[in-house]
């Protein structure tokens, strides 16, 4: 990354920055994965091979029902209720679920623990923490528009 940025900074051509990003990228700056046993792994730069070796199965939290906003560090819990799920559980499966989630499961219909809505347009002129700027300014016609 340092080599890339250094090349871009030294590039004095009058071209858009996006073009410099493309042109000044070092040949060895590539996406890669490492396969093989720990200590003897091999760098692989073929995306298809990396995808086959490390398949993506989705995000566990999204699979459990978390909304796409992904703003929860800790979800609000609710008691485990097998009827919330569209599958049937055996008595053994229900017992295993209860043991795995003794405090309950995420209730994605409720706000996360400690959630606070954002406060848009803060000013930090008075120091850390910020203060709301107040209502948005109103538009008034100028002399040429009257």
- Same domain for 87 and 67? yes
Output the pLDDT for position 78: 96
Domain-terminating residue out of 31, 53, 75: 53
Q: Is the residue at 112 inside a domain?
A: no
Q: Is the residue at 139 inside a domain?
A: no
pLDDT bin (cut points 50, 70, 90) of residue 113 is very high
Q: Is the residue at 64 inside a domain?
A: yes
Q: What percent of the chain has pLDDT over 90?
A: 56
Task: Find the domain containing 21 and state its range.
Answer: 2-53
Output the pLDDT for position 76: 94
First to last CA, the chain: 55
**How many domains is the chain partitioned into structurally?**
2
User: Whole-structure pTM over 0.75, yes or no?
Assistant: no
Output the pLDDT for position 17: 94
Q: Is the residue at 17 inside a domain?
A: yes
Answer yes or no: is pLDDT of 70 > 80: no
Which of 121 and 146 is assigned the larger pLDDT?
121
pLDDT bin (cut points 50, 70, 90) of residue 146 is low
Q: Is the residue at 88 inside a domain?
A: yes
């Amino acid at each position: 990354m340092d080599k890339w940025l250094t090349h871009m900074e030294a590039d004095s051509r009058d071209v858009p920055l996006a073009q410099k990003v493309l042109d000044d990228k070092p040949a060895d700056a590539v996406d890669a994965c490492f396969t093989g046993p720990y200590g003897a792994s091999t760098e692989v730069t073929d995306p298809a091979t990396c995808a086959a070796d490390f398949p993506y199965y989705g995000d566990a939290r999204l699979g459990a029902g978390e909304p796409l906003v992904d703003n929860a560090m800790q979800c609000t819990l609710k008691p485990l209720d097998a009827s919330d799920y569209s599958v049937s559980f055996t008595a053994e499966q229900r017992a295993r679920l209860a043991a795995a989630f003794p405090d309950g499961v995420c209730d994605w219909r409720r706000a996360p623990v400690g959630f606070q809505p954002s406060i848009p347009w803060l000013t930090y002129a008075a120091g850390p923490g910020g203060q709301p700027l107040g209502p948005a300014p109103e538009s008034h016609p100028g002399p040429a528009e009257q």
